[in-house]
Chain A
Amino acid sequence: MKTMASELFSEFREHSVSEFFRKNAAMLGYTGKIRSLTTIVHEGVTNAIDASEEIGVLPSVQVAIKKMNDSPEHFKVVIEDNASGIPEKYIPDVFGKMLAGTKLHRHMQSRGQQGIGISGGVMFSQITSGKPTKVTTSIGNGEMIQADVMIDVDKNEGKILNEEKSKGDWRGTRVELDVRDVTYVRSRYGPFNYLRMTAIANPHVQITFVEPDGTLTVFERATDKVPPRPKSMPLHPWGIMSDDLLALAKHTKSRTVTGFLVAELSRVTKAKIKEVQKLSGIDLNKKPSELTWEDAEKIVSAFKQTKFMAPPTEGLRPIGAADIENGMRQILKPEFAYAITRSPKVYRGGLPFVVETGIAHGGAAGKSADEAEGEEGETGGLELIRFANRAPLIFDQGGCAINAAVRSIDWRRYGVDTAAAPVTLFVNVVSAYVPYTSAGKQSIADDPEVLEEIRAAIMDVARELRQYLYRKIRTKERQQRAGIFEEYLPVIARKAAHLAGVEVPDIKKLIEKVAGVKVGGKRETPEES
């Protein structure tokens, strides 16, 4: 495994790793000044949460972004967790080797589907600022390690520049990245919203965030239960992508591509491989290590045209309606929240997926002031937060099936004014085979089955919201109604008694009867004025 990554990039031999990084910046999430910063935070936080869950610890993640004085585009990003810590000898690999993470060969519905892990952040920092990344870690044995890590771009290896050991009773990892050419904004594309969305979809995580201006926000956890780890299972050929295939190829013990495909993928037989060979025109008897990127792309495309048995539907790990509701209540403090997890469905003839939706009304739900579409000074409006396997989808919203589903709904029918209502709509698409539209993995393709299922799931929660809004209006009306009777019935009694020249009759019983309320307290009108 030590040499895996360098082998993987054998095809890029003629280029340096940093060139590879620049070339694939879009796929890795490092495009644009705002997005690059959000991606670094994402990689760090994902690492932290995964590491905590792995050892069954409730994740507490602290994030701080500090502005450096010399330039408005120069920041220090600090991410600290309470997970297992990293043993000394693994530090260079974890932070200094691209694609050296432990996730690639374990195929599961994972939150870190995108990017190349924290080493990408180290690389970005190194390219932009030329500074090493400061790592502080302890496995909880009383010894703390402080190391400055850089990537040797020629060897694709981690390099430790300085290392210090000290005594300390603490466990976890703290990473400090020095980055330039990035911008901090509090828009929906920035780190704040990313963390807020992460907190909603991961109610067992506590996130503390310090912004460049010193603002401290604590996203408290809403549950003490660590969710079960997604089960690792072989990938189905319909859901695999080129980079996955290459990574698998470098890792396999099989001698031929055919043998490796049958062994590593689900529902693949030798007979099917023959079809794939014909369709792709690639000699599948060659060594897995000889597979090129182009080969991988052709094989993936051939897979899509081949009939395989559908993958098993078990193993999907939705967040669960209760936890989505908890997450929304904790972070948005709404007046109303409701969530559902739909039963598994399949698309493209058998790829299983689950859609979960949640809706919140009131409190901090809805678009924030700077995002609102309405008149200046107006806040609110329908806010859509998208997730795939719990991971926030922040960019490319326009082309996303979730967005298309939201727009296809006539929200007025549900009593929602999309320009003004304080409503946040949560949508999570769960699958080991999320159909992303592009390598950036920020939006979901509009396969008809997926789109229709998302739409149905949104309408489920929208109906519940409509019920709530209706009840709210009814209650208000009832109170107003009672107020009207309490105001006018005593007048009627008083005036009628004066006309008849008799004592004013007791009106309380009649008010209780027609208004359905007890008369009492300060609302009661004096008998004679």
Chain B
Amino acid sequence: MEKGKRQKKAEKSLSEFGSGIVKDISEARPPKLKVPSRSTSNIFYDEKNRYFVLGNKYGIRSAANVKQVKKIAQTLCVADFCKELIEANKFATLREMYYTAEGWDSGPFNDQGESDVIVEDLEAMFGVKREDLGLTPEEDGAAVYGEIVVREDNTVIDATKAGRGGYTIPPTIDDVEFLKCKAKRVIAIETMGCYHRFVQEHAWKTFDALIVGLKGQAARATRRFLKRVNDEFELPVYIFTDGAPFGFHIGMVIISGSAKLAYINHELAVPDAKYIGVTASDIVNYKLPTDKLRELDIARLKQLQKDPRYNTEFWQGEIKKMMELGKKAEQQAFAKYGLPYVVKEYLPAKLKEVEGEDFIALK
């Protein structure tokens, strides 16, 4: 969906929301809000789409309920704030909105948690992302380096000519137009250290790849970027993280979405993305320097074992192997074999694994 369409959908949702309530009030009927439940009992793993989705449970909030009427008034105030943002073609962060609420008729919020939840309510009710409502997350997305050209308003940016750091993915990535892309694949990398290694070793050129630095757990904007290049240019997405339970999960959130954002995962999840490493097998096969698993790591691994997203032969095997090893390894551990090793040796081997012999079209 392009920008204009997204905005229209958001505007229409807000307007219909308002007119439904006006109709109720005119007929002296207490307005009710039907808010999809985001409790764990209503979050399901959709096997077919391979990401988390919400079930059909709803919470009904009634303006005739003394405990809910204030929250409904606050919801209306947030909705109206969004309408004004869209009309003015502006963005605000959640924190800015929280402070703006000091002057609202429904009174200030007790903490930002309260106002954030209302934004999630609206996203779930309308099935639109907060970015479409004029609200942006706090943090920037990460960086991308490679042969993609984008347009932000009137500025055209080539991600190979945006400096050594690459093109910074803005929180408002949905406003950015992707003009052309010569890359054939995307490699998403957990740490920025490793990202810069890949850039320096010209991995983007060698592998015809967009190199994306995730900066740890991927921000919404980054995930949105991955989703869009996957959709719009049909680029396969590969994920390369530390060989540790928290690294595994950084990859999995990109692939299957998070439970917390289940109502919006259809806009964020990249189910076809592939996790390439560091796996437990890599630790063994490459004789990587390791750290001992901490208690927290073991507990996390046990959690992952039961998580439906990890219910595949590959993942169950890797988790088991890591627990047996009792060891984990960072992606930068490949430096043991010299700095270029990870790009010159490890990556080609891995890509051959996932793409097969076709991949040999190396430059």
Contacts and interface: CB of A to CB of B under 8 A. Distances in A.
Interface in A480-529: 481, 484-485, 487-489, 491-502, 505-507, 509-510, 513-514, 529
B190 to A, nearest CB: 42
Contacts of B17: 496, 499
Contacts of B73: 488-489, 491-492, 495
B176 interface: no
Interface stretch (B23-31, B41-49, B263-271): B23-31
Given A491-B73, A496-B76, A484 B66 contact: yes
Nearest to A481: B66
B15 interface: yes
Contact of B105 (A491, A496, A497, A513): A491
A485 B83 contact: no
A529 B28 CA distance: 22
A499 B72 contact: no
Contacts of A496: 17-22, 25, 31, 76
B11 to A, nearest CB: 10
B80 interface: yes
B116 to A, nearest CB: 19
Given A485-B69, A514-B63, A499 B83 contact: yes
Contact of A506 (B26, B63, B106): B26
Interface residues of B, number: 29
B26 A505 contact: yes
Contacts of A493: 21-22, 25
Contact of B80 (A485, A499, A502, A509): A499
B77 interface: yes
B64 interface: yes
A510 B72 CA distance: 15
B79 A499 contact: yes
B70 interface: yes
B14 interface: yes
A502 B28 contact: no
Q: Is the interface of A mostly helix, strand, loop or mixed?
A: helix
B19 A492 contact: no
Interface string A111-154: 00000000000000000000000000000000000000000000
A488 B72 contact: yes
A491 B63 CA distance: 11
A481 B67 CA distance: 9
Given A492-B63, A499-B15, A500-B19, A510 B79 contact: no
Contact of B106 (A481, A491, A507, A514): A491
Interface residues of A, number: 26
Nearest to A477: B66
Candidate in A485, A495, A501, A502 with the most chain B CB atoms within 10 angstroms:
A495
B21 A492 contact: yes
B18 A507 contact: no
Contacts of B106: 488, 491
A499 to B, nearest CB: 3
Interface in B84-134: 105-106
Candidate in B14, B73, B83, B106 with the most chain A CB atoms within 10 angstroms:
B73
Q: Is the interface of B mostly helix, strand, loop or mixed?
A: helix
A505 B105 contact: no
Interface in B148-199: none
B79 A495 contact: yes
Given A498-B18, A499-B18, A500-B15, A492 B66 contact: no
A502 B73 CA distance: 18
B86 to A, nearest CB: 11
Contacts of A498: 18, 80, 83
A507 B77 contact: no
A510 B76 contact: no
Contacts of B80: 495, 498-499
Contacts of B77: 491, 495
A509 B18 contact: no
B15 A501 contact: yes
Given A500-B19, A505-B22, A514 B83 contact: no
A510 B28 CA distance: 5
A494 B22 CA distance: 9
Contacts of B105: 491, 494-495, 529
Contacts of B66: 481, 484-485
B14 to A, nearest CB: 5
B25 A507 contact: yes
A243 B361 CA distance: 127
A490 to B, nearest CB: 8
A495 B25 CA distance: 12
B304 to A, nearest CB: 43
B25 to A, nearest CB: 4
A497 B22 contact: yes
A480 to B, nearest CB: 8
A492 B76 contact: yes
A494 B30 CA distance: 15
A489 B31 CA distance: 10
A492 B80 CA distance: 10
Contacts of B64: 513-514
Contacts of A507: 25
A491 B72 CA distance: 9
Candidate in A499, A510, A514 with the most chain B CB atoms within 10 angstroms:
A499
Nearest to A509: B28
19 contacts: A487-B70, A488-B63, A488-B73, A492-B63, A493-B21, A493-B25, A494-B105, A495-B73, A496-B17, A499-B17, A500-B22, A501-B18, A502-B19, A505-B22, A506-B25, A509-B28, A510-B63, A513-B28, A514-B64
Interface of A: 481, 484-485, 487-489, 491-502, 505-507, 509-510, 513-514, 529
Given A489-B25, A496-B18, A510-B30, 15 more contacts: A485-B69, A487-B70, A489-B73, A491-B73, A495-B73, A496-B22, A499-B79, A500-B15, A502-B19, A506-B26, A510-B28, A510-B29, A513-B64, A514-B30, A529-B105
6 shortest A-B CB distances, which residue pairs?
A499-B18, A500-B18, A496-B21, A495-B76, A500-B19, A488-B73
